[in-house]
Amino acid sequence: MEAACGHADHPVAGRYVLVDRIGSGGMGTVWRAFDLRAQSWLAVKLLTQRNSSLLLRFVREQGLRIPHPHVVAPTGWAAEDDLVVLTMDLVRGGSVQDLLGEQGTLPTPYVALLLDQLLQALSAVHAAGVVHRDVKPANLLLEATGRGRPHLRLADFGVAATRAEPRLTRHPGAVGTEGYMAPEQEAGDPPDPRADLYAAGRVAVHLLTGSPDSAVPDDGLAPLLTHLLQPHPDQRPASAAAALVELRSADVGDWVDGIAVPDRLPPATLPASLPVAAAAPALPPPTTDRGPTRVLAAAGCFTAAIALCAAALVRVLSQ
C-alpha cells in the first residue's frame, strides 16, 4: 500500500501520520497529514517511485524555500525506507482548475485579481533565481476564503529550475504543460523567467475564455495579455514586476463579489489508536494570514539538497 509507512502505527520518520490523499502529480501523491511533533495539520508530498531522476528532482524541490504569501513551497522533508516526503502548508480551497470546473469562465475583475497575485508570486520566485516552468490552473491553489476576495498561491515546484543549474534530463526537450508553454520552452531552450510570464498570460486567457489557446479577448486586460503572449521573450515584459505595473494601470472594471471558494477538504480525524489523537487540535478555520516562514540561505539549501539526495539515493537503490 502506498501509505503503508504513514499510518497511525508507523508514522513516516516517526512523525507524519498520513490521513487522506488529497491530490496527485507527476512525481507522487499529496496527502493531508498530522505532524506528531508540531501537533499540527499539513500537506505532505509523497514519492514512492524508485526512479533516480525523479528522486533527484524531488530532492531539489525541497531546497526551494521561497517565503511569500502567494507561494506554497516546501517547509521540510523526511525519508524512510523507499519513501521521501516533502512537507508544506495545507491549502484548503482547491485549485483554480477546480474553480474553472465549477464556474466556467470568470469575470475580468476576478481574473485581474488572480493574475495580480500570480505575478506577485512569480516576482518572488524569479527573485530567488528560480523559473517555475509549469504555471497552469492546476498548480494555482486557493485558500478557502468563501465569497471574499480569493487568495491564490503558486504551488508544485517539481520541474522548477534555476538558470545556472545543470539539466536533470539526459537530452534537451520541452518541460512543462502543453497549452501553457512559451515557444522557446517548447523548443527546449534553457529556463527563462519570461517563459513563466507567457504561461501567466495563457492562464489568464483560459480563465476568461475557457481555453488557453483562445485569442486574447477584447477587454481591459487585452493590452497586457497581448504583451505577455508575444512569441519572442524579448518582446514580453522584462519581469513579473514590470508586468504587475502594467496590470495595475489597466481598466479592468469594478470588483464584484459572488464567486465562492469553499473549503474543499472534508473533516479529518486521527485514528483513535493514536496516543495523541485526543489531544490533536481540530483543523483551523480558513485564513489568509501567513506567519513567519523559516528561510534557509541559498548555499545552505543547496548543500542540504545534495546531502539529502545522496542519502535518499543510497536508501532507495539499496532496497
CATH code at position 229: 1.10.510.10
Q: Is 225 exposed, middle or buried (0-12, 13-18, 19+ CB in 10 A)?
A: buried
Q: Which residues of the chain have pLDDT under 70?
A: 1-6, 25-27, 48-64, 163-173, 273-319
CB 214 within 8 A of CB 205: yes
Q: Is residue 259 part of a domain?
A: no
Q: Are residues 46 and 148 in the same domain?
A: no
Q: Are residues 233 and 306 in the same domain?
A: no
Nearest CA-CA partner of 8 in 266, 264, 280, 267: 280
CB 291 within 8 A of CB 60: no
Convert the pLDDT of each residue in 302-318 to its tens digit: 334 444 444 444 443 34
The pLDDT, as a whole number, for residue 277 is 47
CB 108 within 8 A of CB 208: yes
Q: Is residue 11 part of a domain?
A: no
* Alpha carbons 317 and 272: distance in angstroms, whole number: 36
Degrees, nearest 5: CA angle 314-318-319: 125
* Alpha carbons 157 and 27: distance in angstroms, whole number: 11
Looking at 197, 221, 248, the residue that finishes a domain is: 248
The pLDDT, as a whole number, for residue 53 is 58
Q: Are residues 216 and 283 in the same domain?
A: no
Q: Grid coordinates representing 312?
A: 535518499
Q: How many CA atoms does the CB half-sphere of 25 hold within 13 Å?
A: 20
Overall size of the chain counted in residues = 319
Q: Are residues 179 and 202 in the same domain?
A: yes
Note down the domain range covering 53.
Answer: 16-90+266-317
CB 183 within 8 A of CB 231: yes
Q: Are residues 240 and 273 in the same domain?
A: no
Looking at 197, 217, 248, the residue that finishes a domain is: 248
The pLDDT, as a whole number, for residue 18 is 92
CATH of the domain at 20: 3.30.200.20
Q: Is residue 10 part of a domain?
A: no
- Cα 290 → chain centroid: 16
Q: Is 263 noted as a catalytic residue in this protein? A: no
Place of cell 471558494: 261
Residues paired with 42 in a beta bridge:
33
Q: In total, how many domains does the chain have?
A: 2
Nearest CA-CA partner of 8 in 49, 27, 38, 36: 36
Q: Grid coordinates representing 207?
A: 480563465
Convert the pLDDT of each residue in 237-249 to its tens digit: 999 999 999 999 9
The pLDDT, as a whole number, for residue 295 is 32
- Name the active-site residue from 134, 192, 196, 219: 134
Q: Are residues 106 and 239 in the same domain?
A: yes
Q: Could you give phi then psi for residue 100, rounded to 5 degrees?
A: -60, -40
Q: Is residue 285 part of a domain?
A: yes
**pTM listed for this prediction:** 0.81
